[in-house]
Amino acid sequence: MNANKLPWWRPVSVVAVVGALLAASACGSGEGGGAAGPESGDGLPPVVRVVSTNPVTGPAAQNGIAANEGHHLAIKEINESGFLGDTTIEMEEVDTAGDSQTAASELTKAITDDSVSAVFGAVQSESAVAQAPIAQNSKMPIIFTQAGSDGVVIGEYTFRLTPTMNVYYPILSKFMKEQGWKTMGILYTAATPSLEMIGEETLPAMAEELGIEVVSSVATQGSTQDFTAPISQLLKDDPDGVAVLLIGAANPTAMTQLRQAGYEGAVLGSAAAASGVLDPAGEDGAGMVWPVGYHPSMEYEASQKFTEAFREEYGEDPMFNSADSYDAAWFFARALKRANSANREDIQKALDEIAAEPWTGALGENLTFTDRILDVPGVVVEKTADGEKLLYYASDVEE
């Protein structure tokens, strides 16, 4: 073969391949209009299938694993109690590995699988934002938890059981008032939209209402690891109080370096510091306070029931992700019962119906949905030397 001349079969094979692909794309199940899911028939089939797409590996692994645990616990209860009669729910867990493209592609696979009735969406905002349009266009009911960003609940097939953080963050005002601060500084990361919004809009608005002056506002990037310089900026004008809105290891680092810089007071934080994230800071971590949708010490009957069941199943206290996802699975199960069908369209209608009624679950009692997002009032939690302490409920805050 003369290496310089194009052999005849090359262009032919190329044309053949392209032709095959065009044919496949034309007659294949196509761009998401296709699979209808289970049939709408009489009653529920013996097995209903749901897929959970969550990060089990990657930076959000802890949250993804906790979410799956919550789903799993609820489904176990539903099956064992015969809530759906003879029907059982079967959940398949798929790892998104923290990657949005994987999340999108796993969702597409679930959509083309005719036996899948619904999907539990990814907890990470970036992944959720990639999944939402696909689920909506393909008419697949998808229930998200966390994923607090715009572009997630975009149509009648998308639901979310946690509001965006800026909705319940203001319950911290009571704490801020009790501290008696006159000035404060805000240190926040611009890498997460929810924390960026809190740092730039929500918290300053709360401060203004309480008559607190924000004397320093320092934004950092996701890649910042040493906070010495940002903290020195934060404390430059000697504020009475401080807010630290960061993710992951930045929380214990900032607390450690804050104490080293001489600040001993309370610190406003976020749920990103919950459940062991602050442990590497040891004693320096104590004193951080944040609002969160769920805490094991919540006293509502349904919450306590969940907390005990979780402790018994897994031997440790549940994270808020687990409470969110537990309620999500029950939300789905109630819709199944109401619809008496495993068909996706029927389930969507049933979800809407249930969302129109008061909701009681691990997240609270008689909660309401607004535009398919659950309004969770939340509680305020403080990190202490040996764990977390529940300070007060949203309902304790006088308007």
Partner 1 sequence: MSGWYGANLILVQNTFIGLVLALSIQFPMRMGVFSFTGAGSYGLGAYLAAILVIDHRFPALAAIAAAMAVSLVVSVLLGLLVQQLDGLYLGMATIAFCLIVSVAATAGGDLTGGPTGRFGAISDFTSGHIYVIAVAALLLVALTEFGRVGRRIEAVREDPELAAAVGINVRAYRLAAFAASGLLGGCAGAMNLLARTTITPVDIGFSLVILALTMIIVGGIRSWKGALIGAVVFTWLPELLAVVGKWEHVVYGALVAAAAIWMPGGLYGVWSDAKYRYRVGRRKAPSGADRSGPRTGAPELRTVGEGVAEP
Partner 2 sequence: MLQDLLGAVTLGSIYLMFALGMSLAWGSIGILNFAHGSIFMFAAFVGYLVLAQSPLSLIALVALGVTVGALLSVLVHVVAFEQITRWTKDHRTAEMQILIGGIGIAGIPLALAQYETRSNPFGFTQSSFQPTVHVVGDLRVSDLQVLIVVAAAVLTTAIALWLRHSRQGLALRSIGVDAEVASMMGVNRRRFAIVTMAVAGGLAGLAAVLYTFYVGALTPESGETLIIKAFACIILGGVGSMAGVAVGAFALAFAETLVLTNFGGLWVDAISFSLIFAVLLLRPAGLFGKKAVRRT
**Residue 247 CB, nearest distance to partner 2 (Å)?**
10
The residue among 159 and 263 lying less far from partner 2, judged by its C-beta, is 263
The residue among 119 and 243 lying less far from partner 2, judged by its C-beta, is 243
93: exposed, middle or buried (C-beta count within 10 Å: 0-12, 13-18, 19+)? middle
**Residue 21 CB, nearest distance to partner 1 (Å)?**
5
The residue among 164 and 307 lying less far from partner 1, judged by its C-beta, is 164
| Binding footprint of partner 1 on the chain (CB under 8 A) | 1-6, 14, 17-18, 21-22, 24-31, 34-35, 56-57, 94-95, 97, 100-102, 104-105, 108-109, 112-113, 125-126, 129-130, 133, 149-151, 190-193, 196, 221-222
Partner from partner 2, partner 1, none binding residue 28, C-beta < 5-8 Å depending on class: partner 1
258: exposed, middle or buried (C-beta count within 10 Å: 0-12, 13-18, 19+)? buried
| Binding footprint of partner 2 on the chain (CB under 8 A) | 57-62, 65, 190, 218-221, 223-230, 232-233, 248-249, 251-253, 255-257, 260-262, 276-277, 279-282, 284
Partner from partner 2, partner 1, none binding residue 265, C-beta < 5-8 Å depending on class: none
Cβ pair 367, 374 in contact under 8 A: yes
Considering Cα of 207, then 395, then 374, then 384, what sign does the dihedral take?
A: positive
**Residue 251 CB, nearest distance to partner 2 (Å)?**
8
At 278, the amino acid letter reads L
**Residue 2 CB, nearest distance to partner 1 (Å)?**
7
Q: 46 CB contacts (<8 Å, ≥6 apart)?
A: 86, 87, 88
**Residue 186 CB, nearest distance to partner 1 (Å)?**
17
Strands (E), 293-396: 359-361, 364-367, 369-370, 373-374, 379-384, 387-393
Which of 252, 292, 273 shows the shortest CA–CA distance to 146?
Answer: 292
**Residue 191 CB, nearest distance to partner 2 (Å)?**
10
**Residue 316 CB, nearest distance to partner 1 (Å)?**
19
Partner from partner 1, partner 2, none binding residue 228, C-beta < 5-8 Å depending on class: partner 2
The residue among 123 and 333 lying less far from partner 1, judged by its C-beta, is 123
The residue among 117 and 192 lying less far from partner 1, judged by its C-beta, is 192
Partner from partner 2, partner 1, none binding residue 1, C-beta < 5-8 Å depending on class: partner 1
Q: 268 CB contacts (<8 Å, ≥6 apart)?
A: 172, 175, 176, 203, 241, 242, 243, 244, 245, 288, 289, 290
The residue among 36 and 261 lying less far from partner 2, judged by its C-beta, is 261
Cβ pair 54, 96 in contact under 8 A: yes
Partner from partner 2, partner 1, none binding residue 204, C-beta < 5-8 Å depending on class: none
Considering Cα of 167, then 171, then 173, then 179, what sign does the dihedral take?
A: negative
**Residue 4 CB, nearest distance to partner 1 (Å)?**
6
Which of 55, 137, 64, 140 shows the shortest CA–CA distance to 101?
Answer: 55
**Residue 201 CB, nearest distance to partner 2 (Å)?**
16
The residue among 3 and 385 lying less far from partner 1, judged by its C-beta, is 3
Q: How many CB atoms lie within 10 A of CB 37?
A: 25
Partner from partner 2, partner 1, none binding residue 24, C-beta < 5-8 Å depending on class: partner 1
Helix (H, G, I), strand (E, B) or coil at 228: helix
Q: 168 CB contacts (<8 Å, ≥6 apart)?
A: 291, 293, 376, 377, 378, 394
Partner from partner 1, partner 2, none binding residue 133, C-beta < 5-8 Å depending on class: partner 1
The residue among 37 and 241 lying less far from partner 1, judged by its C-beta, is 37
Distances (CA, A) of 5 to 2, 10, 14: 6, 11, 16
Partner from partner 2, partner 1, none binding residue 356, C-beta < 5-8 Å depending on class: none
**Residue 128 CB, nearest distance to partner 1 (Å)?**
10
The residue among 135 and 355 lying less far from partner 1, judged by its C-beta, is 135
Cβ pair 38, 343 in contact under 8 A: yes
The Cα–Cα gap between 386 and 399 comes to 32
Cβ pair 364, 376 in contact under 8 A: yes
Partner from partner 1, partner 2, none binding residue 224, C-beta < 5-8 Å depending on class: partner 2
Cβ pair 117, 141 in contact under 8 A: yes
